[in-house]
A and B are shown apart, each in its own frame.
Chain A
């Protein structure tokens, strides 16, 4: 009897040990991610961005079942593309961003944030050669935002980026920007109210939305 009683205890100890091990690992992941997420939001130069992207890639190399490292690596590359003037280099950064997004999508195919980021990458693609790329990539971009919103209608980044595209289109056609400004209003509300359960979830984009808001008055 005694020996039998020991089994559940052993199991419990083992489980506890494993969980602690898991927690320990997660703690390391969490810590590394938080440090670098802070760094990427604060990065000013292409060099700082690249160094932080490198760190995310290293984390991603160990944490293959997490989408966040690839997500932030892609985000870093997109921001690098926006800071770059040369079209060929912009494209090279965006190619890297797309690779990272594909990785994130493979882990979390229905993550609204990842799909919204994909739309952002397409949006920056347009800026390389608006005349010949505008049609194709703005279509793809809007499509991605709508898909992202279908997965999570509260995603403030998807809303704000969509508003950006709607605003650009309305401006081009000289039509009313009310639809764009409506979407933006919703985005701004969501920036304040929406809280993801995931502590590593993206937080960026509010500034961009507030900048667009000055055009909506």
Chain B
């Protein structure tokens, strides 16, 4: 009878280098039979099963191996070589140009939480990223200026979808804040160059934000701020969640207390609403919807430089709507599909004394991406997208200027793993621009080589293009796109909570917008320029107990001949040296996290009208010491206090000039200063939930 037929299966389990693997689990699927391998990797067991069965071998850190075996009573000797699973920590990744932040990943340099807890950043994404190498601090804008690039050369994407104008409106020479709060995102990838072919229409940098999946619990959050308040409610269920937030900001009472450089008629006031919806679809699918509206208004008096008593009224009303819908699903074992649609509406109504200027930009972005692996050595990403921007400026009595731009693009990118230590990424992006009626092809290339268990070298090259700013494109819609080429070399070492990075780059600009003197009607794409530099980053949260700190230094050498420059010169937003130190200290006794940030920016150029050379003037250096304190008196209450520019340094960002020469034959100059020396912020955040130990810490 068959029950008496026994088969002995034995053999040895090793890795590729023939080292024995102990305690691997060897089993006959769907039966009780099997064994663990011993210290020599040897295993042996007896089975009474017959016919064809599947033999499975598995061990942590290795790919499971399976094969059919025929059981007939004849002893089987099966030696198996297990292949190592490429874990995230062991894998080589392309790190040139990229700073990734995530709470999930163990190898990231930056955590999502870091963005919220960096002193001086007041929970603003750009504010925190401005402490990383590759950025040049331009204190009067609050935007990200990367490696000699202008602020608009950094583009923001949420779940892969483009955001037009990611910053809220701000008063002249006051830093604007990002429209998107850091707590919305589980991952942030900030690239200072050489990024993927998936991202186009960005000349210098991309900020790719990955929104959180479904909320885990139902809760209500209330924020009482020194400049307003907000309330958020989140409802969670098994497979999805929905949340809504309403925020009101009014800086008027604050400005009443602290003297401001600006002569306000009405201080900024804004109302903002955010809602998001998440739903799991099927086993692996996820639909995300995000919508945001905001309304801001303020008005102020600009005083004439030559005659202070002469004023001009500037009144701004800004309406912003953003809608983002994205979908992600697993197609098969090896392929995923993701796609989405985003819509931005940006509507500015400006009044300059009696002149009304209307400015509307609408953008639609649709995209589909397929990602998958062809084999263990080859991963592929390909997709297509359309970006349609419609812009119109209407000046009362002076007519309209408008354009309708359609950019259709497709891209493909392949990651080739020559070994576990060496990866090459080759990509290409093809774009068609309807205004130029031109097809363009931009190559991308990056490589990374792992030099040891913790260090790796990577290189990146790419050609990038971006349409000229709206203010130029509306004048000449046939203006060629601005272009840049990046060459980046990077070394990075991540070792047990310590990170060291050094990166050097060269960037070449061409087809920049150019015009002569003040004639803005004759625009050509004939400008050019370059940027090169070296950057260092060090982070350590191991050496000193409860202290986490990082230090960044960037050296930049850049010159351009664009706009109305009479010669090649350093642009006014650039600075040679940027240095920041960020420290965070957790004091268990005080239930507090205390943080401080020091930033230094070397003198920046400004165009001295009393000198014929372009940008010949130099401002004093910029320095700022900021401080923050988060205190948790109860598990569900957080009190947050922060202050920028603790030392009260009078930072000067540049100079403005009068229209006519004075008696000495010179133009009168007026420094551009900080609107207020310090910004003091106090907030109380309360979370109401069934479980009282939850608070808003991750959201701050």
A→B interface (CB under 8 Å): 28, 32, 47, 50-51, 53-55, 57-59, 61-62, 64, 87-88, 91-93, 96, 131-133, 135-136, 138-140, 142-143, 146, 165-166, 169, 172-175
A174 touches B591 (CB 8 A): yes
Q: A58-B34, A135-B695 are in contact. List 18 more A-B contacts (CB 8 A).
A: A50-B23, A53-B25, A54-B36, A57-B27, A57-B58, A61-B28, A62-B31, A92-B87, A93-B60, A131-B113, A132-B111, A139-B216, A142-B691, A143-B217, A173-B591, A173-B633, A173-B635, A174-B591
B691 touches A143 (CB 8 A): yes
Query: Contact check: which of B28, B89, B216, B591 meets A172 at CB < 8 Å?
Result: B591
The chain A residue sitting closest to B633, CB to CB, is A173
Question: Which residues of B are found within 8 Å of A165, using beta-carbon distances?
Answer: 693
A54 touches B30 (CB 8 A): no
Q: How far is the CA of A133 from the CA of B104 in the complex (A)?
A: 9
Query: Contact check: which of B23, B28, B103, B216 meets A143 at CB < 8 Å?
Result: B216
Question: Which residues of A are found within 8 Å of B667, using beta-carbon distances?
Answer: none
B32 touches A62 (CB 8 A): yes
The chain B residue sitting closest to A175, CB to CB, is B634
Query: Contact check: which of B27, B60, B89, B691 meets A146 at CB < 8 Å?
Result: B691
B29 touches A61 (CB 8 A): yes
The chain A residue sitting closest to B589, CB to CB, is A174
Q: How far is the CA of A57 from the CA of B691 in the complex (A)?
A: 35
Q: How far in angstroms is the closest Cβ of chain A from B568? A: 46
Question: Which residues of A are found within 8 Å of B30, using beta-carbon distances?
Answer: 61-62, 64
Q: How far is the CA of A189 from the CA of B339 in the complex (A)?
A: 54
Task: Please report the number of residue pairs spanning A and B whose Cβ atoms sit closer than 8 angstroms.
Answer: 87
The chain B residue sitting closest to A139, CB to CB, is B694
Q: How far in angstroms is the closest Cβ of chain B from A70? A: 14
Q: How far is the CA of A54 from the CA of B34 in the complex (A)?
A: 9
A47 touches B693 (CB 8 A): no
Q: How far is the CA of A88 from the CA of B89 in the complex (A)?
A: 8
Q: How far is the CA of A57 from the CA of B586 in the complex (A)?
A: 42
A57 touches B25 (CB 8 A): yes
Chain B 270-285 per-residue mask, 1 if CB under 8 angstroms from chain A, else 0? 0000000000000000
User: For residues 70 through 123 of chain B, which have their beta carbon under 8 Å from a beta carbon of chain A?
Assistant: 87, 89, 103, 106, 111, 113
A51 touches B691 (CB 8 A): no
Q: How far is the CA of A64 from the CA of B29 in the complex (A)?
A: 11
The chain A residue sitting closest to B114, CB to CB, is A132
User: For residues 571 through 614 of chain B, which have their beta carbon under 8 Å from a beta carbon of chain A?
Assistant: 586, 588, 591
Which of B25, B30, B31, B111 has the most chain A CB within a 10 Å cutoff? Answer: B25
Q: How far is the CA of A58 from the CA of B111 in the complex (A)?
A: 39
Question: Which residues of B are found within 8 Å of A146, using beta-carbon distances?
Answer: 690-691
A32 touches B32 (CB 8 A): yes
Question: Which residues of A are found within 8 Å of B697, using beta-carbon distances?
Answer: 135
Q: How far is the CA of A142 from the CA of B34 in the complex (A)?
A: 38
> What is the interface residue range for chain B against chain A?
35 or more
Q: How far is the CA of A174 from the CA of B590 in the complex (A)?
A: 10
B634 touches A61 (CB 8 A): no
Q: How far in angstroms is the closest Cβ of chain A from B211? A: 15
B635 touches A132 (CB 8 A): no
B103 touches A136 (CB 8 A): yes
Q: Is B632 an interface residue (CB 8 A)?
A: yes
Q: Given A58-B33, A61-B31, A172-B591: A51 and B693 within 8 A (CB)?
A: no
Q: Is B22 an interface residue (CB 8 A)?
A: yes
Q: Is B698 an interface residue (CB 8 A)?
A: yes
B→A interface (CB under 8 Å): 22-23, 25, 27-34, 36, 56, 58, 60-61, 87, 89, 103, 106, 111, 113, 216-217, 548, 586, 588, 591, 632-635, 690-691, 693-695, 697-698
B29 touches A92 (CB 8 A): no
Q: How far is the CA of A210 from the CA of B216 in the complex (A)?
A: 31
Q: How far in angstroms is the closest Cβ of chain B from A213? A: 21
Question: Which residues of B are found within 8 Å of A57, using beta-carbon distances?
Answer: 25, 27, 58
Q: Given A143-B217, A172-B591: A132 and B103 within 8 A (CB)?
A: yes
Query: Contact check: which of A62, A64, A91, A143 meets B106 at CB < 8 Å?
Result: A91
The chain A residue sitting closest to B219, CB to CB, is A139
20 contacts between A and B (CB under 8 A): A32-B32, A47-B23, A50-B36, A51-B23, A51-B36, A53-B25, A54-B36, A58-B27, A62-B30, A64-B30, A88-B87, A92-B61, A92-B87, A96-B60, A131-B113, A131-B586, A132-B111, A139-B691, A139-B693, A172-B588
A132 touches B29 (CB 8 A): no
Q: How far in angstroms is the closest Cβ of chain B from A137? A: 10
Q: How far is the CA of A168 from the CA of B32 in the complex (A)?
A: 42
A54 touches B25 (CB 8 A): yes
A87 touches B691 (CB 8 A): no
Q: How far is the CA of A206 from the CA of B36 in the complex (A)?
A: 30
Question: Which residues of A are found within 8 Å of B34, using beta-carbon distances?
Answer: 54, 58, 61
Q: How far is the CA of A135 from the CA of B591 in the complex (A)?
A: 14
Q: How far in angstroms is the closest Cβ of chain A from B368? A: 30
Question: Which residues of A are found within 8 Å of B103, using beta-carbon distances?
Answer: 132-133, 136
Q: How far in angstroms is the closest Cβ of chain B from A66? A: 12
Q: How far in angstroms is the closest Cβ of chain A from B268? A: 32
Q: How far is the CA of A93 from the CA of B217 in the complex (A)?
A: 26
Q: How far in angstroms is the closest Cβ of chain A from B624? A: 25
Q: How far in angstroms is the closest Cβ of chain B from A62? A: 5
Q: Given A139-B217, A173-B635: A54 and B23 within 8 A (CB)?
A: yes
A173 touches B634 (CB 8 A): yes
Q: How far in angstroms is the closest Cβ of chain A from B20? A: 14
Question: Which residues of A are found within 8 Å of B28, using beta-carbon distances?
Answer: 61
Question: Which residues of A are found within 8 Å of B586, using beta-carbon distances?
Answer: 131
B22 touches A47 (CB 8 A): yes
Q: How far is the CA of A139 from the CA of B23 in the complex (A)?
A: 35
Q: How far is the CA of A44 from the CA of B250 in the complex (A)?
A: 62
Q: How far is the CA of A168 from the CA of B226 in the complex (A)?
A: 32
Question: Which residues of A are found within 8 Å of B548, using beta-carbon distances?
Answer: 131
Report the 7 A-B pairs with minimum CB-CB distance, sorted nearest first: A54-B25, A50-B23, A58-B34, A54-B36, A58-B27, A132-B111, A51-B36
Question: Which residues of B are found within 8 Å of A135, using beta-carbon distances?
Answer: 694-695, 697-698
Q: How far is the CA of A140 from the CA of B103 in the complex (A)?
A: 15
Q: How far in angstroms is the closest Cβ of chain A from B251? A: 30
Q: How far in angstroms is the closest Cβ of chain B from A189? A: 23
Q: How far is the CA of A136 from the CA of B694 in the complex (A)?
A: 9
Q: How far is the CA of A41 from the CA of B214 in the complex (A)?
A: 37
The chain B residue sitting closest to A64, CB to CB, is B30
The chain B residue sitting closest to A46, CB to CB, is B23
The chain B residue sitting closest to A129, CB to CB, is B106
Question: Which residues of B are found within 8 Å of A166, using beta-carbon distances?
Answer: 693
B106 touches A88 (CB 8 A): yes
Query: Contact check: which of B27, B36, B111 meets A61 at CB < 8 Å?
Result: B27
Q: How far is the CA of A25 from the CA of B267 in the complex (A)?
A: 79
B216 touches A169 (CB 8 A): no
Q: How far is the CA of A50 from the CA of B516 in the complex (A)?
A: 75
Question: Which residues of B are found within 8 Å of A54, using beta-carbon distances?
Answer: 23, 25, 27, 34, 36
Question: Which residues of A are found within 8 Å of B58, using beta-carbon distances?
Answer: 57
Q: How far is the CA of A50 from the CA of B30 in the complex (A)?
A: 20
The chain A residue sitting closest to B56, CB to CB, is A61
The chain A residue sitting closest to B548, CB to CB, is A131
Query: Contact check: which of B27, B36, B635 meets A169 at CB < 8 Å?
Result: B635
